[in-house]
Structure 1
């Protein structure tokens, strides 16, 4: 079944005109690791495995970074989707705080990558803002602030009296150097460019249609009959895992985005900070290197194969009106792009990293939640350690079977 994960004209694949193209697989190969999926997660995996001298082949069924990666906002922040106190039903505060600190580690990994290989992906370090405009949510923001501050995270509390933004804010937490923004299309391609230079083989327009498990390897069969024999297979296919397992990993929703034309001023948007509100589902906002504004959210339940254009247009209108009401001092806000895509969430806000429970040579790298890119970085580091028999206890946070009865 052809499930549509992306609708509309995404910003990043549209504005990037100089597109590198890889060939399709036309021969049989043997490798240490075969990565299935050529979005940002697969590219991250390719980079870390190649960096650790592990022979790698990456297969993408369509074009590199043109599916779910094309609609990611790439608003990167260490915090999770839900506040710490709200996650206690599913995990401990200690685990959530550990995830926060791992997120900071992943942000540093991106910075180190940029330092080593230049900034070819419009990377910019940013502070982040979590806020509420509702009086009855002030206490929950205060609790979150206290927990972060007590545990050594660099945070600042703001309220109505100290609010410098143009929108209504009753309480908020500014996390210093708590996030970053990138162009996900450029980042994916830069990772693959570096991976390729280190020996990784990369193929696009190469759909995997079958995998066959053996004791010490897996045969990966492509639609044109070519075979990749791999000691390990990394599933980096995002939300589409049906070829590998019947397991339902996450709750899928459709999230909507609108992007403006470049604006001439940012009055009321202090320091172009990354913004997230405390709503459920929440809204998120960022700027771009060419001075656009992006707002996303208004999530609805994902229904495979069904796209409701009227509903999408209503959501786009809501987001546009919210953006204009929040930033009434920014001149000439005009919408340029509207698109939507699939978003997946888990009860504890973490992704899934590690071996399949039935097939020891099948490993998952699924960066679900708002921190998908950061989880992919952490997971790729953990899996390359696992391949080299280096223990990493943090992988237990992302265990594939942690919600199984």
Structure 2
């Protein structure tokens, strides 16, 4: 299945940063990571640094799936409000989930600096706007809940918003723990660093047979090569659903555009990340080179052909909405594309194992927090393979 439309922005912008061969023969390893996007890159990097013999494979070229289409707004917020998540899973666990996402942004920043990909990461504040007057009370309670959990969240009144932005909204929450990322470049950089540390990376390698066992997992590729691994990590996004006994995700199509380079941003306070309480929500960011990225207009996923037919009309609506918000910003749309993502019932990722598949670990970072969830998954899976239980593992288990 095609995860993205034919012209994802990051792949066109960056090109093929590193090349890897397809699997040339049979291989054994401690851990096989299926998927070489940002999730697989973060997980394999952590495992290699822990001293494990790691093989990474992907049926596409490296980072050419969802990673190439991600708008990569890094936010600790889960798609489910903290106050709503508290009602679902209790105050303690809801706060732990939010704090885990909060801390993952620091983790990603540290990794980007360590592997020489500093340019891919940039701190920005985040503004979460009330889409309508009835959302103001929700934002007040949400801000109170976050502050009680130890998270900085400033409440802006309507007059303060008008002073900072070229538009008005009834209220907003401002967060300082947020960033923007070139996930495609960071994935390549992490995999390159992992390869230098001994990881073996193969792309354009498709698995046709999969046999889990109590001592090892055996996989066979479409070219007949056999991979034997002590453990397998699935970092293949919603495509992992094919291996699971029950459906855990609803698929959505999202649409995005990128402008030509812009030099002035009147009415856009600190070029902050922007999103809103409406569902589906509009989301905005800038890129390091001055481009503006706008996303949203999500719809249920049917198939790639229908999704791609909507790219022009959906991104035209995104462009119209942006011009209404920022009439003084002069820009021209350069790229338009679409992608597919998964959405869970509670906004939380699925990370861990299932009883039916011994020695298999899943890192399914669904929703708007895919990258931050992947950083959390890297820690949880590394601890599991070392025989230790991560204190947050229960938050993301399949049987929650």
> Secondary structure, in 3 states, of the residue corresponding to 2:257?
strand
Distance between the aligned counterparts of 2:345 and 2:119, measured in 1? 31
> Which residue of 1 is the match for residue 267 of structure 2?
268
Matches within 5 A, 1:168-207: 168-176=168-176, 178-207=177-206
Is 1:357–1:401's contact at 8 Å kept on the other side of the alignment?
no
Q: Give the deviation of 1:304 after TM superposition.
A: 3.0
Is 2:263–2:290's contact at 8 Å kept on the other side of the alignment?
yes
Q: Give the deviation of 1:126 after TM superposition.
A: 1.4
Distance between the aligned counterparts of 1:179 and 1:235, measured in 2? 27
Task: Please list every run of at least 4 consecutive aligned residues from structure 1 whose deviation after the TM superposition is greater than 6 angstroms.
Answer: none
> Secondary structure, in 3 states, of the residue corresponding to 1:111?
helix
> Secondary structure, in 3 states, of the residue corresponding to 1:6?
coil
> Which residue of 2 is the match for residue 319 of structure 1?
318
Distance between the aligned counterparts of 2:211 and 2:310, measured in 1? 41
> Secondary structure, in 3 states, of the residue corresponding to 2:389?
coil
Distance between the aligned counterparts of 2:317 and 2:354, measured in 1? 41
Distance between the aligned counterparts of 1:232 and 1:395, measured in 2? 18
> Which residue of 2 is the match for residue 160 of structure 1?
158
Is 1:121–1:187's contact at 8 Å kept on the other side of the alignment?
no
Task: Indicate yes or no: 2:267 matched with 1:303.
Answer: no
> Secondary structure, in 3 states, of the residue corresponding to 1:146?
helix
> Which residue of 1 is the match for residue 79 of structure 2?
81
Structure 2 length as normaliser, TM-score? Answer: 0.96
> Secondary structure, in 3 states, of the residue corresponding to 1:240?
helix
> Which residue of 2 is the match for residue 215 of structure 1?
214
Distance between the aligned counterparts of 1:346 and 1:309, measured in 2? 23
Distance between the aligned counterparts of 1:63 and 1:311, measured in 2? 26
Q: Give the deviation of 1:120 after TM superposition.
A: 4.8
> Which residue of 2 is the match for residue 286 of structure 1?
285
> Which residue of 1 is the match for residue 364 of structure 2?
366
What is the total number of aligned residue pairs between the two structures? 398
Higher helix share: 2
> Which residue of 2 is the match for residue 247 of structure 1?
246
Gaps of 5+ in 1: none
- Aligned-residue CA RMSD (Å): 1.5
Deviates more, 1:79-88 or 1:113-122: 113-122
Is 1:212–1:220's contact at 8 Å kept on the other side of the alignment?
yes
> Secondary structure, in 3 states, of the residue corresponding to 2:238?
coil
Matches within 5 A, 1:25-174: 25-88=23-86, 90-163=88-161, 164-174=164-174
Distance between the aligned counterparts of 2:11 and 2:191, measured in 1? 16
Is 2:383–2:389's contact at 8 Å kept on the other side of the alignment?
yes
Distance between the aligned counterparts of 1:319 and 1:187, measured in 2? 27
Is 1:210–1:243's contact at 8 Å kept on the other side of the alignment?
no
> Secondary structure, in 3 states, of the residue corresponding to 2:237?
coil
Structure 1 length as normaliser, TM-score? Answer: 0.95
Q: Give the deviation of 1:313 after TM superposition.
A: 2.2
Q: Give the deviation of 1:310 after TM superposition.
A: 4.9
Gaps of 5+ in 2: none
Deviates more, 1:18-27 or 1:238-247: 238-247
> Which residue of 1 is the match for residue 5 of structure 2?
7
Distance between the aligned counterparts of 1:280 and 1:274, measured in 2? 17
Q: Give the deviation of 1:244 after TM superposition.
A: 1.9
Is 1:125–1:181's contact at 8 Å kept on the other side of the alignment?
yes
Q: Give the deviation of 1:308 after TM superposition.
A: 4.8
Distance between the aligned counterparts of 2:233 and 2:85, measured in 1? 29
Instruction: Give the direction of change, closer, same or farther, for the CA distance of 1:317–1:93 in structure 2 (3 Å limit).
Output: farther
> Which residue of 2 is the match for residue 380 of structure 1?
378
Q: Give the deviation of 1:271 after TM superposition.
A: 0.9
Deviates more, 1:160-169 or 1:70-79: 160-169
Deviations 1:113-151 (A, max 9, x none): 133222355210111111114111111111111111222
